[in-house]
Amino acid sequence: MTTPRVPLLVARDLVKTYGRNPALRGAGLELGGGEIVAVTGASGSGKSTLLHCLAGIVRPDEGSVTYRGERLDTLPERRLGELRRTDFGVVFQFGQLIPELTALDNVALPLMLAGTARARARQEAGAWLERFGAGARRDARPGELSGGEAQRVALARALVTGPQVVFADEPTGALDSLASEEVMTSLAHTARASGTAVLLITHDAQVAAYADREVRLRDGATVPVGVAA
């Protein structure tokens, strides 16, 4: 018998409205330690808003988000900032790398912000770039990287601090099928090897297939996978 994972991150009854437009209408999910969960749904269904609430980037209007016993939705911004530096890693669709920095320094930056000496941070960043097959591009700046290379750098940056949870918002949305497969294979392999939980936002069924399970959003609400439209 498989032992159930203890929930690491739990969202309940989330509501979020922008102006008159409801983005979330009672959405909820649980993410276990070391688990990869794909959140799927049509464009505008609330996927990215859900991720932003779970990562503490935005606060829901109603409902709760709990991480290891702490209510993220009520934490002061300073504590949320600490968690984003230590426990959380975030990967966006277009990487959002700092254009003035090399790939190596983009990956080293989270470590330096957490107090790691520059030489040590760059050493660890280089090891992560090698792990993601981007070591040869360590001195390139984002404008010199292909889409797949930039996402590999972004993944290395998200994982370099050893986070408990990685939030990946359409990480392959701007990539072709081959680059998408390579990036997802790297992410899934590394996350499972390190025991990192991943919340993966995607509209692509092939990307969702890398997850342990799938949660679907429809019009801001969580629905069981397999329910007819």
Break the chain into its structural domains and give their ranges: 7-95+148-223
CA angle 172, 178, 179 (to 5 degrees): 45
pLDDT in tens, 92-140: 876 689 999 999 999 999 999 888 999 999 999 999 999 888 999 999 9
Distance (Å, whole) CA 123 – CA 108: 8
Provide the sign of the torsion angle of the four alpha carbons 136, 142, 144, 150, taken in this order: positive
Predicted confidence at residue 53, as pLDDT, reads 94
pLDDT in tens, 165-206: 999 998 888 788 888 888 899 889 988 988 999 999 998 889
Threshold 0.85, pTM exceeds = yes
How far is C-alpha 181 from the geometric centre of its chain's CA atoms?
Answer: 17
Beta carbons of 218 and 43 less than 8 angstroms apart: no
For domain 7-95+148-223, say whether CATH 3.40.50.300 is its number.
yes
Q: Which amino acid would we find at residue 151?
A: Q
How far is C-alpha 52 from the geometric centre of its chain's CA atoms?
Answer: 10
